[in-house]
Amino acid sequence: MRVYLETFGCQMNELDSELVRGQLLSLGHEFVPHPDEAQVVLFNTCSVREHAEQKVYSRLGLAGVRKKQGEQLIVGVIGCMAERDGVDLFKRYPQVDLMCGPGELDRLPLLIDNAARADAADRSERVALAGNKSRRSATLQAAEDNLELLDLSRAFEPVANDAKSRSAYVRITRGCNKFCTYCVVPHTRGAEVHRPPSHIVDECKRLVDAGVLEITLLGQTINHYRYTHGTALTVDGHEAPQVGPGLAAFRKPPDPGARTTTFADLLHRIHEEVPALQRLRFVTSYPRDFGDDILQVMRDSPRICHYLHVPAQSGSDRMLKAMNRGYTVSEYLEFIDRVTTTLPDCTIGGDIIVGFCGETDEDFEQTCELVRRVPYKNNFIFKYSPRPGTVAFDRLADDVPDEVKRARNNALLALQNTVSARVHERWVGRTVPVFLEDIRERAAPTGPANGHVALSVAGRAPAAATLRIRQVIGRTPGDLIVALPAPENAETMLGTIQSARIIGSKPLLLDGVFPTI
Ligand code: SAH
Ligand code: SF4
Ligand code: F3S
């Protein structure tokens, strides 16, 4: 069948979509770029904020109109909204034929098959096939084994020579056990489960053999990766995914009798066993329990990027406590100091929530202070969005008015811009390797500045409106964006890593040139 798949949300979802795509392609389905051409429309959804869900509701509205007009169309909601909304969504959106939470994606082809065969009138059968939460009663281990097969089924065809396919995600941990009070992720993705290191290393090797240059490891609190060997085996004696050890495991030294792969060990293994991998990075780091062992492996392994995405969420101890984040501002800062001491050129990014329950002007000012103090290259700033099912939704009042949330959001964005500008400035004059990803053409603001190539139409004197500059856009190991004047053969350079000299900076961008040009 012709399938259209649209993805919302985080990198976990992007990876899930890739796996789902591979699985459906191998079963003979084909993918189309526009929903109008599709027989099956799938939305891989995100529940993290209300806004993310609204986008999907509007897509469902459009699909509903098509069905009302008599089109034969299968509409599927997969991912975190399917898990959170469950049967409620079926009730409100009768146009939805199937739902499949992130823990059930291995069953998606079956659900599509069944939906295709089902009598359109027999809606009750479809609901029963939704799969949502169906595994909750089964043992977690069994559920995760099947999911593990989905990751293991990944297709490793030689990749095209473009940037997107030369950069890949590899999951090391599923789910989350932290239960920050505002967050749906532990509810939608389930308990923290670590994949066996051999599966991870093997996946990295096969991706690199197929031409991948850059791998980003994924986990919600990635430094909490820990696998104890010999304790979780499949019936045929292979290592199986393993439920996370809990916070207590990080309070004491590892049991000397146990053979354990820590996150630092895993990074080291991938770096050593996959020598053709050019860039290894990972998200998202949790500010607590990030040991010096990890920083040392990063320092000593030239192909591990000096880049951390390590969200603080707030600069107020009171808010961090209400959020159940498990660290104080001074512990966060102590960690940042360790990072900058061991890895002076490490870039740091984060996430911040403004307007969380009970946040006063003073709490907010403390967050501003944190942003002034930490050399963040960027921060994603979110207005708190109460999510049904979370502790904050049930027990804390969403008492910061929306105008105040918006004002704090804007003030923090402006402050972050000045911090970002300072961080970017420090790179001017350096030569850095840049992974080239994209070409963009845009109007030149004030004529051909900074050595950029100006294209004028048919040799006429370039009027301001006809001036276009063509740039190649790439990223440094530290995930800073670099814009370079595009040479003639720019297309052939996409998906490669080239040296660039940084000659200027803007708050969110470095201007570079190729040294040989
Ligand atoms: N595991 C990561 C975050 C995953 S969710 C971590 O702990 O850092 C991505 C980001 O969404 C979070 O860092 C947080 O800033 C934001 N977020 C999560 N729930 C939210 C909510 N209810 N309202 C607003 N932002 C939220
Ligand atoms: Fe959500 Fe907290 Fe887990 Fe991150 S650590 S996914 S914010 S519960
Ligand atoms: Fe959204 Fe689910 Fe990711 S809620 S942020 S898609 S884990």
What DSSP string runs through 130-153? --TTTTTTS-HHHHHHHHHHHHHT
Is residue 342 within 8 A of residue 296, CB to CB? The reply is yes
Our CA angle for 285, 473, 460, nearest 5°, is: 160
Calculate the average pLDDT of the chain.
Answer: 89
Ligand 2 mean position, distance from CA 178 (Å):
6
Per residue in 19-34, pLDDT tens? 999 999 999 999 999 9
- Ligand lying nearest the CA atom of residue 171: 3
Per residue in 253-310, pLDDT tens? 777 778 999 999 999 999 999 999 999 999 999 999 999 999 999 999 999 999 999 9
Is residue 331 within 8 A of residue 287, CB to CB? The reply is yes
pLDDT score for 450: 47
Is residue 162 within 8 A of residue 494, CB to CB? The reply is yes
Strands (DSSP E) contained in 292-375 are 307-309, 347-354
Please check the confidence at residue 161 and state whether its pLDDT lies above 50: yes
Helical axes 11-26 vs 140-152, angle rounded to 10°? 70
Ligand 1 mean position, distance from CA 408 (Å):
17
Q: Using a 6 Å cutoff on CB, does residue 173 contact ligand 3?
A: no
Sign of CA dihedral 103, 80, 311, 249: negative
Q: Which amino acid is at 327?
A: Y
What is the SS3 assignment for 236-266? CCCECCEECCCHHHHCCCCCCCCCEEEHHHH
Residue nearest ligand 2's atom 5 by CA: 178
pLDDT score for 120: 53
pLDDT score for 131: 42
Tell me the range of 1-10, 67-76, 449-458 where mean pLDDT is highest. 1-10
Q: Using a 6 Å cutoff on CB, does residue 387 contact ligand 3?
A: no
Lowest model confidence (mean pLDDT) among 167-181, 388-402, 442-456 = 442-456
Ligand 1 mean position, distance from CA 430 (Å):
34
Instruction: From 149, 89, 88, 27, select the one nearest 76 (Cα to Cα).
Output: 89
Torsion of CA 154, 156, 161, 167, to 10 degrees: 40
pLDDT score for 126: 53
The pair of three-digit structure tokens given for residue 168, joined into one six-digit string: 């890949």
Q: Tokens 């609901």 sit at which residue?
A: 127
Going from the C-alpha of 19 to that of each of 24, 114, 152, the distances in angstroms are 9, 20, 9
For residue 468, list its beta bridge partners. Answer: 443, 455
Q: Using a 6 Å cutoff on CB, does residue 188 contact ligand 3?
A: yes
Q: Using a 6 Å cutoff on CB, does residue 221 contact ligand 2?
A: yes
Backbone angles phi, psi at 242, to 5 degrees: -135, 135
- List of residues 6+ apart from 152 with CB closer than 8 A: 199, 203
pLDDT score for 158: 66
pLDDT score for 456: 43
Instruction: From 168, 181, 269, 274, select the one nearest 225 (Cα to Cα).
Output: 269
pLDDT score for 137: 35
Ligand 1 mean position, distance from CA 220 (Å):
10
The conformational region for residue 419 under phi > 0 = left, psi -120 to 50 = alpha, else beta, is: alpha
Helical axes 263-273 vs 197-209, angle rounded to 10°? 30
The pair of three-digit structure tokens given for residue 86, joined into one six-digit string: 């469950």
**In angstroms, how far is CA 222 from the centroid of its own chain?**
12
Our CA angle for 100, 134, 104, nearest 5°, is: 35
Helical axes 329-342 vs 361-373, angle rounded to 10°? 10
Please check the confidence at residue 457 and state whether its pLDDT lies above 60: no
Q: Using a 6 Å cutoff on CB, does residue 207 contact ligand 3?
A: no
Q: Tokens 């990295």 sit at which residue?
A: 204
Query: What does R_g of the chain's alpha carbons equal in angstroms?
Result: 24
pLDDT score for 258: 81
Q: Using a 6 Å cutoff on CB, does residue 207 contact ligand 2?
A: no
Residue nearest ligand 1's atom 12 by CA: 351
Query: DSSP of 148-197, one letter per residue?
Result: HHHHHT---PPPPSSTGGGEEEEE-EES-----TT--HHHHH-S-EEPPH
Q: Which atom of ligand 3 is nearest to the CA of 184?
A: 4
Instruction: From 164, 168, 113, select the one nearest 100 (Cα to Cα).
Output: 113
Q: Which amino acid is at 102?
A: P
Please check the confidence at residue 169 and state whether its pLDDT lies above 50: yes
Binding pocket residue ranges, ligand 1, CB within 6 Å: 48-49, 182-183, 185, 220-221, 284, 311, 313, 351, 353, 382, 384-385, 387
To the nearest whole percent, how much of the chain has pLDDT over 90? 75
Q: Probe ligand 3: pick from 188, 218, 220, 351, max atoms within 8 Å of CB?
A: 188
Q: Probe ligand 1: pick from 183, 356, 381, max atoms within 8 Å of CB?
A: 183
Q: What is the spatial distance between Cα 262 and Cα 258, in angstroms, rounded to a whole number?
A: 12
SS3 content of the chain, % helix, strand, coil (to 5): 40, 20, 40
The conformational region for residue 99 under phi > 0 = left, psi -120 to 50 = alpha, else beta, is: beta
Q: Using a 6 Å cutoff on CB, does residue 46 contact ligand 3?
A: yes
